[in-house]
Amino acid sequence: MLLLSLTVSRLTEINREIDFIVMLPITTKRLILRRYTEDDNQDILDFVSHSSVANATPEIESTDAGVSRYIAMQNSYQPFEQDKCFDLAIEIKEDGKVIGLLSMVCKAHKQGAIGYALGVDYRGQGYATEAARGLVGYGFATLNLHRIYADTESDNLAAWHVMERLGMRREGYFREAIFRDGEWLDILIYGILAAEWQEMETF
């Protein structure tokens, strides 16, 4: 455990140097989108312990050791490394509480896939939209992506309403595309191009 702690600490120091180059953290009106630190362990455990978040984040085991491994894994990635699911903590500026995570997978041909998971106590307050808007803007302006997209189950109204508020278009509807908890689920694909985002942000 001591070795893991030392490794995470050193990775955090290295990541601070790298983050300076890629202009992290990302700040919005109420939020800071940043890399994880060891101090985030309990906050992460709090929000992933709910089944709705656990189902969306199978890579995070909801134990102290599991969260520590997840933080160490995320801090081993270079920021927005291609084909890696790079997560940022969603921190409330006012009190420093980490309330969820925001993901970006950078792919070939300047494509980026985003996703998020938010603690149940912080839903319905605009945090998901605000965080996602910050990352999408960053993806186009800083990462020079051409298209950003996201997918969700068709019955997850809150998720695809966030995508629509970001100006994303529904690009695809895949019927019975995944099997989960004993039933087939439809998947929606939403996307937005850099030119569309720039035009929208101009007004």
- Say whether pLDDT at 191 is over 60: yes
More confident of the two residues 52 and 80: 80
Average pLDDT, the chain: 90
Fold of 2-202: Aminopeptidase (3.40.630)
Segment 110-133, tens digit of pLDDT: 999 999 999 999 999 999 999 999
As given in the structure block, the two tokens for residue 171 are 């690009």
Segment 31-70, tens digit of pLDDT: 999 999 999 999 999 999 988 888 888 899 999 999 999 9
- Say whether pLDDT at 16 is over 80: no
Runs of H (alpha helix) within the chain: 2-22, 41-48, 51-56, 64-75, 127-141, 157-165, 194-202
- Say whether pLDDT at 1 is over 70: no
Phi, psi of 80 (to 5 degrees): 60, 35
Residues composing the chain? 203
184 Rama class: left (phi>0) / alpha (psi -120 to 50) / beta: beta
Cα–Cα distance, 158 to 72 (Å, whole number): 30
CB atoms < 10 A from the CB of 38, how many?
Answer: 15
Task: Tokens 């630190």: give the residue.
Answer: 37
Cα–Cα distance, 133 to 105 (Å, whole number): 16
pTM of the full structure: 0.86
pLDDT at 22: 65
pLDDT at 17: 46
Confidence of residue 20 (pLDDT cuts 50, 70, 90): very low
Average pLDDT, integer, range 145-159: 94
Percent of the chain's residues with pLDDT above 70? 89
